[in-house]
Amino acid sequence: MRVIPFRFEGNRFWLLDQRRLPKEEVWVPCQTAGEAADGIREMVVRGAPAIGVTAAYGMVLAHLSGQDPAEADRVLRKSRPTAVNLFYALDRMKPHWGDLEGSLREAQAIWAEVEATEQAISQHGARVLKGQVLTHCNTGPLATGGYGTALGAIIEAHRLGRVSHVWVDETRPYLQGARLTAYELQKAGVPATLITDNMAAYFMAKGQVDAVILGTDRMALNGDFANKIGTYGVAVLAHHHGIPFYPALPLSSVDPHLETGAAIPIEERSALEVTQLRGVQIAPEGFPAAHPAFDVTPHTLVTGIVTEKGVLYPPFDDALRGALGWG
Ligand SMILES: CSC[C@H]1O[C@H](OP(=O)(O)O)[C@H](O)[C@@H]1O
């Protein structure tokens, strides 16, 4: 059963508060673009494609509340910097500024595109997965509003009898794996085991990981990509152990302005998300803590890129340009 993280109802965009999962299912109503931006920034809703859909409906809310679309666009663009889906969606909404019906149609189209591309990603990704798969962070319907990307592929591969078990990285510090991926795999009936991030090497060394698949927040044209912090480490471990490593993404997550990953903006989040665990102080009060929320994995560590157009193999510059229709 898929848990869709939002719904548009009664001229409000309702967000399932992912900070409260898996214990409580609490819905938060957004009536303005500012409230949608707050929901993105505070990670009520999170996940690259889901952020894009939320931003699109934030522009619909701006029209419903009589807000200047340019101001709404500015507020939404400031909410989080790394996932390119946010900017892709707002660029798609721009031609409809001042037009409520057109904005609503475009937002619905963006959401429908998420659903369609992720069904394809899941089917293509399922064909490269087998045995025991490790994943990092959360890339299911909660992160996308559709079928999921990497987790969609895992669930489909299990349905086909290809994947027998999933190692779920808890994904410190925000714990998207422990709280959200475990929740989604349990609902989907897929056998899985939660591990702390520092256990991945142990299970790889024991030969208990046959493939790694995970998400993408922004990919450059050479295949370098940004994803949840810890992804780069998993990629290095997989490379060392000769384990196939696949980022999964819709092609709308490719940044057409970036030749390499060097310029991908990395979000710095509050140190409190590291020094506290669900509000419980775990480090000395005020102790300094770093919190880059993403890291960049070089394309040289990537086996294949799972997209709605199929699985792309090196040289990724050519493969991505071909998939984007750039010849
Ligand atoms: C389907 S891509 C989801 C992507 O977004 C997550 O980041 P966050 O939870 O901070 O929005 C993570 O990087 C996932 O891989």
Over residues 147-155, the mean pLDDT reads 97
Q: How far apart are CA 231 and CA 156, in angstroms?
A: 22
Check if the interface score ipTM surpasses 0.90: yes
Percent of the chain with pLDDT over 70: 100
Report residue 248's pLDDT band, with 50, 70 and 90 as the boundaries.
very high
pLDDT number for residue 306: 98
Tell which one of 18, 19, 46, 115 to mutate to probe ligand 1, the residue whose CB is within 8 A of the most ligand atoms. Answer: 46
Tell which one of 217, 225, 251, 308 to mutate to probe ligand 1, the residue whose CB is within 8 A of the most ligand atoms. Answer: 217
Report residue 120's pLDDT band, with 50, 70 and 90 as the boundaries.
very high
Over residues 195-221, the mean pLDDT reads 98
Q: Which of 41, 40, 45, 37 is nearest to 4 (CA)?
A: 45
What fold does the segment set 6-118 form as a domain? Four Helix Bundle (Hemerythrin (Met), subunit A) (1.20.120)
pLDDT tens-digit series, residues 255-302: 999 999 999 999 999 999 999 998 899 999 999 999 999 999 999 999
Please classify residue 20 by burial: count the beta carbons closer than 10 Å to its beta carbon, then call 0-12 exposed, 13-18 middle and 19+ buried. Answer: middle
Q: At a CB cut-off of 8 Å and minimum separation 6, what does 237 contact?
A: 200, 201, 204, 243
Q: At a CB cut-off of 8 Å and minimum separation 6, what does 167 contact?
A: 132, 133, 134, 135, 192, 193, 195, 200, 203, 208, 209
pLDDT number for residue 156: 98
Contact 156, 190 (CB under 8 A): no
pTM: 0.97
Q: How far apart are CA 121 and CA 92, in angstroms?
A: 22
Q: At a CB cut-off of 8 Å and minimum separation 6, what does 317 contact?
A: 221, 222, 223
DSSP annotation of 309: T
Which residue has a Cα nearest atom 5 of ligand 1?
A: 47
- Residue 283 alpha carbon to ligand 1 centre in Å: 26
Residue 217 appears among annotated catalytic residues: yes
pLDDT number for residue 1: 77
Which residue has a Cα nearest atom 7 of ligand 1?
A: 47
Report residue 237's pLDDT band, with 50, 70 and 90 as the boundaries.
very high
Whether 133 is in the pocket of ligand 1, judged by its Cβ within 6 Å, is no
What is the 3-class SS of 28-57, one letter each residue? EEECCHHHHHHHHHCCCCCCHHHHHHHHHH
Report residue 2's pLDDT band, with 50, 70 and 90 as the boundaries.
confident
Which residue has a Cα nearest atom 3 of ligand 1?
A: 47
Q: Which of 280, 121, 135 is nearest to 212 (CA)?
A: 135
Question: What residues does CATH 3.40.50.10470 cover in the chain?
Answer: 122-323
Asked if residue 67 has pLDDT above 90, the reply is: yes
Q: At a CB cut-off of 8 Å and minimum separation 6, what does 253 contact?
A: 48, 49, 83, 84, 85, 88, 216, 217, 218, 219
Whether 311 is in the pocket of ligand 1, judged by its Cβ within 6 Å, is no
- In ligand 1, which atom is closest to the CA atom of 294? 13
Over residues 19-26, the mean pLDDT reads 96
- Residue 161 alpha carbon to ligand 1 centre in Å: 27
Q: How far apart are CA 249 and CA 149, in angstroms?
A: 6
Asked if residue 327 has pLDDT above 80, the reply is: no
Query: Residues forming the annotated binding site for substrate?
Result: 46-48, 80, 176, 227-228
Question: What residues does CATH 1.20.120.420 cover in the chain?
Answer: 6-118
Name the catalytic one among 217, 224, 255, 295. 217
- Residue 273 alpha carbon to ligand 1 centre in Å: 16
The CATH classification number of 122-323 equals 3.40.50.10470
Which residue has a Cα nearest atom 15 of ligand 1?
A: 215
Asked if residue 27 has pLDDT above 90, the reply is: yes
Whether 254 is in the pocket of ligand 1, judged by its Cβ within 6 Å, is no
Residue 159 three-state SS: helix
- In ligand 1, which atom is closest to the CA atom of 46? 11
Over residues 64-75, the mean pLDDT reads 98
Q: Is the peptide bond before 173 cis (omega within 30 degrees of 0)?
A: yes
pLDDT number for residue 318: 97
For 128, the token pair is 């490269």
Whether 136 is in the pocket of ligand 1, judged by its Cβ within 6 Å, is no
pLDDT number for residue 278: 87
Whether 269 is in the pocket of ligand 1, judged by its Cβ within 6 Å, is no
Per the prediction, the chain carries an average pLDDT of 97
